[in-house]
Amino acid sequence: MANTKSALKAARKSARNAARNQTVKTRLKTLAKAVAAAAKANDAEKSRAAAIAYSSALDKAVKSHVIHRNTASHHKSQVAKHIFVAKK
C-alpha cells in the first residue's frame, strides 16, 4: 500500500489511466478485426473505409501515448499491404 499522499494520488492516477488505455486498446483490436474481415471478403470499399478508421485510431492512440509510434507504423503498413492485395 502507498505510504505518502503523492503515492496514493499516483496509484489512483495509474488505475484511471490503465482503464482508459484498455478501452483504447480494445477499440484498436476491434478495428483491426474489421479491416481483416473486409479484406477477406474482397470488398474494396469497405476495406478502404475500415483501414482509414483503423489508421486514424492508431494515430490517436500514439498521440495519447497508449501505444508506441513504431508499433502504429508497423500496423499501418500491414493494413496498407492487405488493402493493396484486396484491390488486385
CATH of the domain at 48: 1.20.58.110
Whether pLDDT at 27 is above 70: yes
Own/partner pairs, 32-36, CB within 8 angstroms, 24+ separation = 32/75, 32/79, 35/79, 35/82, 35/83, 36/82
Whether pLDDT at 40 is above 80: yes
pLDDT at 87: 58
pLDDT at 51: 93
Own/partner pairs, 48-56, CB within 8 angstroms, 24+ separation = 48/83, 51/79, 51/80, 51/82, 51/83, 54/28, 54/79, 55/79
pLDDT tens for each residue of 47-68: 999 999 999 999 999 999 999 9
Q: Residue 77: which domain range?
A: 5-87
- What's the pTM? 0.82
pLDDT at 88: 53
pLDDT at 85: 62
Residue entry with cell 470499399: 45
Q: How many domains does the chain have?
A: 1
The rounded distance, in Å, linking the Cα atoms of 1 and 49 is: 47
User: 21 Cβ partners below 8 Å, 6+ apart?
Assistant: 66
